[in-house]
Amino acid sequence: MNDASLWSIFLNSALINNFVLAYFLGICPFFGVSSRLETAVRMGGAVSFVMLVASICAYTINWILAAVDAPYLRIISYILVIASTVQLVEMLIRKLSPATFRAMGIYLPLITTNCAILGLALFQTNRNYDFVQSVVYSLGAGAGFALALILMAGVREKLDLANVPALVKGTAAALVVAGILSMSFMGFAGLGR
Amino acid sequence: MPGKQLTPTDEFVKGLWRENPVFIQVLGMCPALAVSNTAINALTMGLATTFVLVMSGISVSTLRRFIPREARIVSFICIIATFVTVVDYVIQAVSLELSRALGAFIALIVVNCLILGRAEAFASKNTIGRAVLDALGMGVGFTAALLWIGVLREILGAGTLFGVALFPDGFQTWTVMVLPSGGFLAMALWLLLVNWIRDRQEKSAKAAQGVTR
pLDDT digits 0-9 by tens, B76-134: 888 999 999 999 999 989 888 888 888 778 888 888 878 888 888 888 888 898 899 98
Q: What is the pLDDT of residues A39-91, one digit of tens each?
A: 888 888 888 888 898 899 899 998 999 888 888 888 888 888 888 888 887 88
Angle between helices A37-68 and A115-126 (to 10 degrees): 40
Positive or negative torsion for Cα B184, B187, B191, B192? positive
Specify burial of residue A176 (Cβ count, 10 A radius: 0-12, 13-18, 19+): buried
Give the largest Cα separation in chain B, rounded: 62
The percent of residues above 70 in pLDDT, for chain A, comes to 95
The answer to whether A106 faces chain B, any CB pair under 8 Å, is no
Task: Using the predicted structure, report yes or no on whether residue B24 has a pLDDT greater than 60.
Answer: yes
3-state DSSP call for residue B80?
helix
Of B26, B74, B182, the CB nearest to A171: B26
Q: Calculate the CA dihedral of residues A84, A86, A92, A93 and round it to 10 degrees.
A: -160
Cross-chain Cβ contact B111/A83 below 8 Å: no
Query: Does the predicted model carry a pTM greater than 0.90?
Result: no
Q: Does residue B2 register a pLDDT over 60?
A: no
Q: Which of B24, B108, B200, B202 to mutate to test binding with chain A, by most A CBs within 10 Å of its CB? A: B108
- Provide the pLDDT for residue A90: 81
Residue B209 Cα to chain centre, angstroms: 33
Question: What are B's interface residues with A at a Cβ cutoff of 8 A?
Answer: 26-27, 29-31, 33-34, 73-74, 77-78, 81-82, 84-85, 88-89, 103-104, 107-108, 110-113, 116, 176, 179-185, 187-188, 191-192, 195-196, 199
How far is it, in rounded angstroms, from Cα B162 to Cα B151? Answer: 8
Query: In A, residues 41-80, which contact B (CB 8 Å cutoff)?
Result: 72, 75-76, 79-80
Go through chain B and tell me how many residues it has: 213
B74 and A182: CB-CB below 8 Å?
Answer: no
pLDDT higher than 90, residue B17: no
Do B77 and A25 count as a contact with CB atoms less than 8 A apart? no
Rounded Cα distance, B53 and B138, in Å: 8
The pLDDT value recorded for residue B5 is: 64
Residue B7 DSSP class: P
